[in-house]
Amino acid sequence: MDKVKVAVVGCGMIAEQSYLPGIRQMEKAELVAVCDIVEGRAKLLQGKFNIPRSYADLDVMLGEEQFDLLVNLTTIPMHYPLNLKALQAGKHLYSEKTVAQSVEQATELIETARAKGVKLGAAAATMLSTVNQEIKSLVREGAIGKVALAKVISSHGGPAYFAWPTDPTWFYKSDSGPLLDMGVYGLHTITGILGPAKRVMAFSGISDPVRYVRGGPFKGKRIDVEADDLTLITLDFGQATFAIVDASYCIRATKAPSLEIYGADGTITVNRSEAQHELSLWRDELKLGIRGWTNMEVEGKAWGLPLAVEHLIDCILEDKEPVPSGEHARHVLEIMNKCMEAARTGRTQELTTTFGEAQ
């Protein structure tokens, strides 16, 4: 096999603006079909991207279409049942976040993929970023000494705050929300750098109970917020190494770094930029004889959504395990589920899952 045949389920904004144009440009991918329960959406993108076939039912596509890899871009509540169908049908799978809604569901997906001999990749694939890989190397090489604290911003103003091209109401429903939509990025990043967390504590609630869509075709629509729109997470990695991650739709603007890690001998800072390459390193000049801040240029690809599909295709062709693995996604899912339990009860929650590193 020199090319992987790819089908996509879910033809919303992310598919149209990111995944489909990205997959079309991949030398090792052949985009053969798209599917959406809103048949007009699938047909629209079929024509726009010159895709051979479109479907309105995943079962029909699984039964009729010959393909190797399914990319699941549907809404969060639909990920698990559609993911399970694809794996049971013997398809390699890349799922947008979250891969499931419980640890038990994620475990079932992992075990099904293993039994069927197929690859399972799961968002968020932030550790494919060369910047994050460089940070991970710096931390493990002891460039900033023993890590004490990390701060991660994993929030924005919410889909209703932007000119969203489709109805954003579902983001605010009780089975979705910014923890699953945004917090997943920061949690994947910091656990990818520091390793699996051991305990979690959190505060969570609804700060802004009514939203109005500010732009796009649904401008002015009222949304009653059901999911907590603000969650503050504290992670314990052991040995007095902690991290704070926010996950909300309440940050309209910020100049704060997206990530800072503080160690005994220095600090790593990632400033916000479209290229995601603004990495700075400060080291203790009195202790190490090194003067102040250093801006580091990191070569390679900035992380982007289609990059995860390209990576999984390489893993399929070369029989390697993906970096954004099902096990890593399961660990982050446990953190998110247990942080809500922690917020509800006021008690720190022990974490039981872990994950290894792809070789």
pLDDT in tens, 178-188: 999 999 999 99
Do 200 and 241 reside in the same domain of the chain?
yes
**Based on the domain organization, do 160 and 229 belong to the same domain?**
yes
238 assigned to some structural domain:
yes
Same domain, 142 and 248: yes
Pair 162, 275 in one domain: yes
Per DSSP, the residues of 93-154 read EEEPSPS-SSHHHHHHHHHHHHHHT--EEES--GGGSHHHHHHHHHHHTTTT-SEEEEEEE-
Write out the E strands in 292-352.
293-296, 349-350
Would you say residue 359 lies in a domain? Answer: no
Containing structural domain, residue 192: 127-299+334-350
What is the tens place of the pLDDT at every residue in 274-329? 445 578 999 877 666 666 788 887 876 667 899 999 999 999 999 999 999 999 99
| Residue 357 placed within a domain | no
Indicate which CATH number applies to the domain containing 70. Answer: 3.40.50.720
Same domain as 161, residue 94: no
Handedness of CA 184, 318, 16, 84 (dihedral sign): negative
User: Distance (Å, rounded) from C-alpha 235 to C-alpha 150?
Assistant: 9
Report the CATH number that the domain containing residue 201 is assigned in CATH.
3.30.360.10
How is residue 40 annotated by DSSP? H
Is the pLDDT at 39 greater than 90? The verdict is: no
Let me know whether 295 and 191 are in one domain: yes
pLDDT reported for residue 359:
44
End-to-end C-alpha distance for the chain, whole angstroms: 22
* C-alpha–C-alpha distance, residues 255 and 246, integer Å: 15
Q: What does pTM read for this prediction?
A: 0.93
Q: Does residue 117 sit in the same domain as residue 236?
A: no
**How many domains would you assign to the chain?**
2
Give the per-residue pLDDT at 302: 66
